[in-house]
Structure 1
Amino acid sequence: MKKIKKLSKFLTIIPIIYLLSACDKNVTISNYNNHIKEIKIGVTLYNQDDAFISTIVKNIEEIAKDKENDGNYKIIINVLDARGSASEQSSQVERFVSQNYDVICVNMVDRTTASTIIDKAKASNIPVVFFNREPVEEDLDRWNKLYYVGAEAEKAGEMQADIIINAYRKNKQMVDRNGDGKIQYAMLEGEPGHQDALIRSEYCIKAMEKNGIELEKVADDTAYWQSAQATAKMSKWINTYGDKIEVVFSNNDDMALGAIQALEGQNRIKNKPLVIGIDGIPKALEAVKKGTMIGTVINDSWKQADAIFNLAYKLATHGDMSSVQGLEKGKYIRTAHTEVTIDNVDLFLQKSTDK
């Protein structure tokens, strides 16, 4: 009988110990979950082969790692490449929505399809940060959780002009090689309908004319921001116009570098035209240092990446959006440009190495 009582007491103790241990286990899990929270940020790109866009993405990933080390959040950055397909990009946005991402960052294939992307995100209450390719204002006004990060395209065009104007004033013969009192130029444009391509081209020429410099357009064409296409276009122009072109304005550095490749492959050209780009990618800075490009205009990929990530992080953590630096009209962040020539290129080459 005593044995039975002892066994009964033992059996009573077991559930109590189990419950205590179970409670302790639950507390541990709860504390862990409260300590480490997960943020999921989806990024869809028009084309990851674009050197400038690729640099922005790398910077975002680096900034996210630093933030993860400093904070209480596990940060997942999922980057998808739409490879120029608007329908593929739409599917990628649907995927982010179905997987309950906290924020979606979109570098649009086609800015006219922004409304479709917005509708998908809005239906699931997922904020969207557009970047580099700006939706029309009417689309961004459709919801209070839409943002845009980019640069001042007008300034980029004006700074391109400024570099050529300064060169012209310092050494007129270097620019106006045939001495006819006007500059014969070619324009490599990004793509039809892209707002930055249109604005950069327009304001570059306007700034030249405003400063009293007469221009003659010899050729212009779109090369879709790509070096290989620019090489093909420039090769065709060389064969058609010979050494008539005195300046090549390019909407970005990749195309400028493509033009240089074509020029260097044509030894029959006596006097190569001055070539100028926009973005300030490392290869372009090296070309400026070497003298094959007269200059470029830095479109700060680090500042843009920082702005994109900061917006996404604030949105994902339900932070105070009014505290975001540089936010205009509650939804725009535009980063500044910087002119780069042989006079200051070493400074920016050093900065690109440091990063």
Structure 2
Amino acid sequence: MKKIAIGIVSLLFCIGMLTGCGNSAGSSEDAAGVKMYLTISSADTFRQTIIDAADKCAKDAGAELTVKDAEGSLESQLAHIKEAVDGGYDVILCNPVDTDTALQLQLAAGDLPIVFFNSCPSDDRLEAGKYVFVGSNEAEAGGYQAEYILDKYKDQDEINVAILKGEKTHSATVGRTNSLKKALNASGKKINYVFEDYANWSTDTAKQYFELLLKTGQRVDAVACNNDDMALGIVEACEENNISFDSLPIIGVDATEKGCQSVADGKMAFTIYQSGAGQGEYLIKAAARLAKGQSLEGMEYLSEDQKYVWVPFEKVDKSNVSQYQ
């Protein structure tokens, strides 16, 4: 994924100027004077949409938001959290470099609540009212991909599928891949996984891997990618090797601007809209409540155990892609 430079963003609006994000003065999402510290594992196309929305929502809610990029370094992320503690911040918003380090991050945060986003720690590391996750349910995305493939090849008893996965430790990689394979395997059809590897969200890496697959001469009926950037790498490889997009559905997740344009152009067959804007908005809403010691009870999309805020996925193909552009 292409790196996007992220600097420190400090946004402070007065209470009387509150607009947007579903807020009104005095609402539970009013965050006038609340100091929020956001640390992201590394910048990419989709995460930038979350940050942009969080910036706007923090501004509308009257909060001060500082954004830092850990650039894939756990040490940098721990330094960010120490900075938040020492700087008198009220809440930490964290896209963890490695979800397995959630306990370490929580210990570093001390008494500060954490709203995790984009990559989800294990359930036992979350706690209602203190450590929550805002994102989309990855199992839903993988299920939608499987649904598309099975419908496309409903008259075939055997389907050859290639899978390009994101970062090995990322919860989206695990959730999307496992649910995709679970649904395909439960279909009663013979599913052959002719290729499966970690392309780490990268367009270039996905392209290189797919070109290696083409050299083997194996038949491929569909390529399912954990995100749009990797799917666009497959599109590039198909264009350079004169492979018809009608004969090889390429499937992504995120419905990014480039991904949607590819669908509109008849190249990518299908993607799944993950609302970065929605996640950024609910990230700030949840952070505002936790910073003030309030419950998330009553918040839209909140799970029954109050550990998760699930912003829904939406299916996108050529018939409705214009709604997402």
Q: Deviations over 1:225-245 (max 9, x none)?
A: 122221221222222336x22
The alpha carbon displacement at 1:156 in A equals 0.7
Q: Find 2:281's aligned residue among 286, 306, 320.
A: 306
TM-score, normalised via structure 2 length = 0.84
Aligned 8 A contact 1:163 1:339 in 2: no
Deviates more, 1:192-201 or 1:56-65: 192-201
Give, in whole Å, the separation in 2 of the partners of 1:299 and 1:213.
Answer: 29
Q: Find 1:188's aligned residue among 164, 176, 197.
A: 164
Q: Does 1:85 align with 2:80?
A: no
The alpha carbon displacement at 1:209 in A equals 3.2
Map residues 109-188 of structure 1 onto 2, 5 A cutoff.
Answer: 109-122=97-110, 125-141=111-127, 144-169=129-154, 181-188=157-164
Q: Find 1:101's aligned residue among 89, 96, 113.
A: 89
Give, in whole Å, the separation in 1 of the partners of 2:60 and 2:38.
Answer: 18
The alpha carbon displacement at 1:43 in A equals 0.7
The alpha carbon displacement at 1:318 in A equals 4.1
Q: Deviations over 1:141-166 (max 9, x none)?
A: 4x851111121111111101111222
Aligned 8 A contact 2:52 2:277 in 1: no
Instruction: Tell me the equivalent position of 2:58.
Output: 64
Aligned 8 A contact 2:250 2:268 in 1: yes
Q: Deviations over 1:229-269 (max 9, x none)?
A: 21221222222336x222111011111111211221223x4
Q: Does 1:76 align with 2:51?
A: no
Q: Find 1:248's aligned residue among 209, 220, 223.
A: 223
Q: Deviations over 1:279-320 (max 9, x none)?
A: 111111111111111101111212211211101112234445
- Three-state SS of the structure 2 residue aligned to 1:248 is strand
The alpha carbon displacement at 1:37 in A equals 5.4
Map residues 1-355 of structure 1 onto 2, 5 A cutoff.
Answer: 38-48=33-43, 50-68=44-62, 75-122=63-110, 125-141=111-127, 144-169=129-154, 181-241=157-217, 244-267=219-242, 269=243, 273-328=248-303, 329-349=305-325
What is the identity, as a one-letter code, of the residue corresponding to 2:278?
K
Alignment RMSD: 2.1
- Three-state SS of the structure 1 residue aligned to 2:177 is helix
Structure 1: stretches of 5+ with no match in the other structure: 1-35, 69-74, 350-355
Give, in whole Å, the separation in 1 of the partners of 2:215 and 2:132.
Answer: 45
TM-score, normalised via structure 1 length = 0.77
Higher RCO structure, 1 or 2 (CA under 8 Å, sep 6+): 2
- Three-state SS of the structure 2 residue aligned to 1:207 is helix
- Three-state SS of the structure 1 residue aligned to 2:168 is coil
- Three-state SS of the structure 2 residue aligned to 1:42 is strand
- Three-state SS of the structure 2 residue aligned to 1:322 is coil
Give, in whole Å, the separation in 2 of the partners of 1:247 and 1:148.
Answer: 32
Give, in whole Å, the separation in 1 of the partners of 2:313 and 2:296.
Answer: 25
Structure 2: stretches of 5+ with no match in the other structure: 1-30
- Distance change (3 Å), C-alpha of 1:258 and 1:317: same
Task: Return the structure number with greater helix share.
Answer: 1
Give, in whole Å, the separation in 2 of the partners of 1:188 and 1:346.
Answer: 26
Q: Deviations over 1:53-94 (max 9, x none)?
A: 1111111112222333xxxxxx22111111111111111111
The alpha carbon displacement at 1:196 in A equals 2.3
Identity %: 30
- Three-state SS of the structure 1 residue aligned to 2:33 is strand
Q: Which has the larger radius of gyration?
A: 1
Give, in whole Å, the separation in 2 of the partners of 1:149 and 1:257.
Answer: 27
What is the identity, as a one-letter code, of the residue corresponding to 1:66?
D
Give, in whole Å, the separation in 1 of the partners of 2:151 and 2:66.
Answer: 44
- Distance change (3 Å), C-alpha of 1:210 and 1:321: closer
- Three-state SS of the structure 2 residue aligned to 1:321 is coil
Give, in whole Å, the separation in 2 of the partners of 1:232 and 1:221.
Answer: 11
Give, in whole Å, the separation in 1 of the partners of 2:240 and 2:297.
Answer: 53
